């Protein structure tokens, strides 16, 4: 078959000869966004991107993805970093390579459709702060949700990349909804909208190599804009799919630098560079230059994040994706959610319920946020439904979806499910058919009012408009009105080293840590004691500067390890150990060794961990308990309010889905035990109705 796109191999001396390829495959690097989002929960910090930024700018990537997706949320929520600042900072180090971001269309970088005024302001400010390419997708592939943002992207003269979310209902291409015509028609829609390029976005690594070939071939024949393939490695197929897509004429491929590659991330760039070397589709990238960047990432950056990598499995691929045609990230969320609720044994029921719920909710693609919407509802059904009644606890997001707030589903939603979801729904019981944002009231001005005296500029206001609870908390940290908690601080390489050393010692059964406080100089009064801990021997020096003896060096053992301690020492006189830098998981602050001497007074009981509000014992009534762990979004009722059974009392966010919790009885709200933004555990008493 003679074919313009066919990959041609030439014979040459590669050490001397590397002519520019006729039609090079362009590479977009995802390390600084999707790479760390996939492998370590988007926890990558700006300070760890700077060491490679200038070198990556020299490589010759078509673009580098640096922003969007979950970065905006994670940065202000967990890293105490201003997302806007990252964009400006990286832009100072990377001046040549275009920046790309993942934009969730009208969902922007959040999990619901925002009003048009917020969407417009967000895209304008993003352009202003340095973004060049807007990879835009809608979870339902409903391009009416593109209208507002695309207009602004075009007005600002930036690159609009339109995405088609890859989805399937059968193990291979074809079956209900997602056949080749579906993708071709979507691409034509995007071309009509003015797409500068079109991306087939396979967020779960579902696309099989020969299906990739068929689709890319069909897209290349049907539309003019360059075609870009985004396929996660998760299932193990993506390097093969890349190659078949290249044979079919794909223009741009997404990869990661190798330390950030594979598992749920993307195939690495280096093998692809070598695969295409010398062909008419040679990337032209220099593998030695890539190796230098890898070295920095491997040695200076990755050690800080190793603890976040999922090392629970040896296998780097997840065949459950092949078995269930479901995004791996979604599956691991489901597993985590079931674990938190002590219901992991119900996982098979969840797998069975999932396709049913998806079909009932309109056979929608599974991508953020629809994967969570379908996933959490499935878990709720498995946990709370019984034979008599399905959809007993419907999340707020499923109600929104049934109302049409996310857009048009691929097939109509099951009418019975829709009716139940919209029963008493605050926006109305009749679903809408218009572009969702048309019914949303402007949100920017209210956000401006809410943040008066706190927000300093429009970027701050937008941050708050997108994430009211965590956004406000971040702005308080940013402007010094509240101290950020220690867990949002960065870890240093020194800390990592110290922890690794401790782990090594612990593995050898010799976890011994000295107090980091400088003791007074030793005097003649120093007396030496021999201390035996099981078979181990320690020498302990003790001296009496004033009245009571004082330990000049002590050992700390991990909590729970019974040790015989140096005697005779009064614990009251022992110097308090410096707070350990070791974040011992689950263990309380390391306590000094418990004295074995019966005469010694018992150490003060440890303080209770989190000051979680306990249920006041003296309030009588029916408690409303948290059915799952989560964060309080808001209480809809106040103390003293009369409620009827079934009224919404509190909105609880769990796994990013909002759950309206209802009054378990008629009565009056007697006590409210938490407030907006508080984290709660399963079965915490949220309020009492009496």
The span from the CA of 85 to the CA of 460, in Å, is: 11
The span from the CA of 507 to the CA of 41, in Å, is: 28
Q: CB nearer to Co ion: give 371 or 418.
A: 371
Q: CB nearer to Co ion: give 121 or 203.
A: 203
Report how many residues bind Co ion under the rule CB under 5 A.
Answer: 2
At closest approach, how far in Å is the CB of 204 from Co ion?
Answer: 9
Residues 6+ apart with CB under 8 A from 564: 531, 532, 533, 596
Closest CA to 549 of 558, 538, 540: 540
Closest CA to 58 of 292, 242, 225: 292
* Spacing of C-alpha 311 from chain mean position: 17
Residue with the closest Cβ to Co ion? 34
Length of the chain: 690
Q: CB nearer to Co ion: give 203 or 413.
A: 203
Near Co ion in 185-214, by CB under 5 A: 203
The burial class, CB within 10 Å (0-12 / 13-18 / 19+), for 253 is buried
Other CB atoms within a 10 A radius of the CB of residue 135 amount to 26
Closest CA to 321 of 241, 263, 381, 245: 263
For Co ion, what does the binding mask look like between residues 469 and 488, x meaning CB under 5 A? --------------------
For residue 394, give the 3-state DSSP assignment: coil
- Residue 65 near Co ion by CB under 5 A: no
User: How is residue 81 written in tokens?
Assistant: 């970093």
At closest approach, how far in Å is the CB of 102 from Co ion?
Answer: 7
Near Co ion in 600-629, by CB under 5 A: none
Q: CB nearer to Co ion: give 135 or 408.
A: 135
Near Co ion in 9-48, by CB under 5 A: 34
At closest approach, how far in Å is the CB of 8 from Co ion?
Answer: 31
Q: CB nearer to Co ion: give 34 or 251.
A: 34
Only one residue has tokens 């630098």, namely 257
Q: CB nearer to Co ion: give 203 or 633.
A: 203
For Co ion, what does the binding mask look like between residues 427 and 456, x meaning CB under 5 A? ------------------------------
At closest approach, how far in Å is the CB of 132 from Co ion?
Answer: 19
Q: CB nearer to Co ion: give 231 or 556.
A: 231
Q: CB nearer to Co ion: give 37 or 80.
A: 37
Q: Which residues are bridge partners to 513 per DSSP?
A: 556
At closest approach, how far in Å is the CB of 268 from Co ion?
Answer: 15
What does the angle CA 178 – CA 181 – CA 184 come to, to the nearest 5 degrees?
Answer: 105
Q: CB nearer to Co ion: give 136 or 659.
A: 136
The span from the CA of 459 to the CA of 497, in Å, is: 37
At closest approach, how far in Å is the CB of 562 from Co ion?
Answer: 49
The span from the CA of 482 to the CA of 608, in Å, is: 23
The DSSP annotation for 274-308 comes to HHHTTBTT-----HHHHHHHHHHIIIIIGGGTGGG
At closest approach, how far in Å is the CB of 220 from Co ion?
Answer: 22
Q: Do 603 and 591 contact (CB within 8 A), yes or no?
A: yes
For residue 553, give the 3-state DSSP assignment: coil
At closest approach, how far in Å is the CB of 206 from Co ion?
Answer: 12
Q: CB nearer to Co ion: give 203 or 208.
A: 203
Residues 6+ apart with CB under 8 A from 655: 333, 336, 337, 372, 375, 376, 630
Near Co ion in 318-347, by CB under 5 A: none
At closest approach, how far in Å is the CB of 454 from Co ion?
Answer: 34
At closest approach, how far in Å is the CB of 318 from Co ion?
Answer: 15
Residues in contact with Co ion by the rule CB under 5 A: 34, 203
């Amino acid at each position: 078959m003679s074919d313009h796109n066919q990959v041609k191999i030439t014979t040459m001396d590669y050490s001397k000869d590397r002519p520019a390829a006729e039609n090079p495959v362009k590479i977009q690097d995802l390390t600084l966004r999707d790479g760390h989002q996939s492998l370590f929960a988007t926890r990558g910090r700006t300070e760890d991107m700077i060491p490679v930024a200038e070198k990556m700018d020299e490589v010759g990537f078509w673009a580098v993805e640096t922003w969007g997706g979950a970065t905006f949320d994670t940065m202000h929520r967990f890293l105490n970093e201003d997302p806007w600042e990252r964009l400006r900072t990286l832009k100072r180090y990377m001046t040549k390579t275009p920046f790309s971001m993942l934009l969730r269309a009208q969902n922007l970088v959040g999990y619901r459709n925002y009003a048009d005024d917020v969407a417009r302001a967000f895209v304008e400010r993003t352009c202003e702060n340095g973004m060049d390419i807007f990879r835009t997708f809608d979870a339902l592939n409903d391009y009416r949700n593109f209208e507002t943002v695309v207009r602004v992207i075009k007005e600002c003269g930036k690159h609009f990349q339109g995405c088609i979310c890859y989805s399937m209902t059968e193990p291979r291409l074809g079956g209900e909804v997602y056949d080749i015509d579906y993708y071709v028609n979507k691409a034509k829609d995007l071309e009509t909208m003015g797409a500068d390029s079109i991306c087939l976005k396979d967020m779960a690594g579902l696309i099989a190599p020969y299906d990739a070939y068929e689709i890319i071939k069909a897209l290349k024949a049907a539309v003019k804009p360059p075609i870009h393939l985004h396929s996660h490695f998760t299932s193990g197929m993506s390097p093969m799919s890349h190659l078949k897509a290249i044979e079919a004429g794909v223009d741009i491929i997404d990869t990661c630098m190798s330390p950030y590659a594979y598992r749920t991330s993307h195939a690495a760039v280096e093998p692809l560079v070598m695969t295409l070397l010398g062909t008419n589709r040679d990337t032209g990238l220099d593998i030695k230059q890539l190796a230098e960047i890898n070295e920095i990432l491997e040695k200076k950056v990755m050690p800080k994040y190793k603890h976040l990598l999922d090392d629970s499995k040896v296998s780097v691929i997840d065949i459950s994706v092949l078995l269930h045609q479901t995004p791996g990230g979604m599956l691991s969320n489901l597993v985590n959610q079931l674990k938190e609720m002590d219901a992991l044994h119900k996982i098979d029921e969840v797998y069975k319920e999932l396709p049913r719920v998806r079909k009932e909710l309109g056979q929608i693609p599974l991508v953020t946020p629809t994967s969570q919407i379908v996933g959490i509802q499935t878990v709720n059904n498995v946990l709370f439904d019984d034979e008599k009644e399905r959809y007993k606890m419907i999340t707020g997001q499923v109600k929104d979806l049934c109302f049409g707030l996310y857009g048009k589903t691929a097939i109509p939603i099951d009418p019975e499910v829709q009716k139940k979801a919209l029963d008493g729904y605050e926006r109305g019981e009749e679903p809408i058919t218009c572009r969702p944002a048309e019914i949303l009231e402007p949100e920017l001005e209210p956000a401006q009012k809410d943040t008066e005296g706190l927000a300093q500029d429009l970027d701050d206001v937008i941050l708050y408009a997108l994430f009211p609870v965590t956004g406000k908390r971040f702005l308080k940290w940013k402007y010094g009105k509240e101290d950020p908690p220690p867990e949002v601080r960065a870890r240093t390489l020194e800390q990592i080293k110290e922890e690794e050393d401790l782990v090594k010692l612990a593995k050898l059964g010799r976890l011994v840590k000295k107090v980091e406080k400088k003791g007074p100089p030793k005097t003649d009064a120093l007396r030496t004691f021999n201390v035996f801990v099981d078979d181990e021997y320690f020498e302990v020096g003790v001296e009496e500067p004033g009245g009571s003896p004082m330990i000049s060096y002590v050992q700390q053992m991990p909590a729970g390890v019974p040790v015989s301690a140096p005697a005779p020492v009064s614990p009251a006189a022992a110097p308090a150990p410096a707070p350990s830098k070791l974040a011992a998981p689950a263990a309380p602050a390391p306590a000094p060794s418990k004295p074995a001497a019966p005469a010694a007074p018992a150490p003060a009981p440890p303080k209770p961990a989190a000051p979680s509000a306990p249920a006041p014992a003296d309030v009588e009534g029916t408690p409303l308990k948290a059915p799952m762990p989560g964060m309080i979004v808001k209480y809809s009722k106040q103390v003293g309010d009369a409620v009827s059974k079934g009224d919404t009392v509190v909105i609880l966010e769990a796994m990013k889905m909002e759950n309206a919790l209802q009054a378990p009885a008629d009565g009056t709200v007697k006590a409210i035990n938490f407030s907006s933004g508080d984290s709660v555990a399963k079965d915490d008493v949220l309020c009492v109705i009496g």
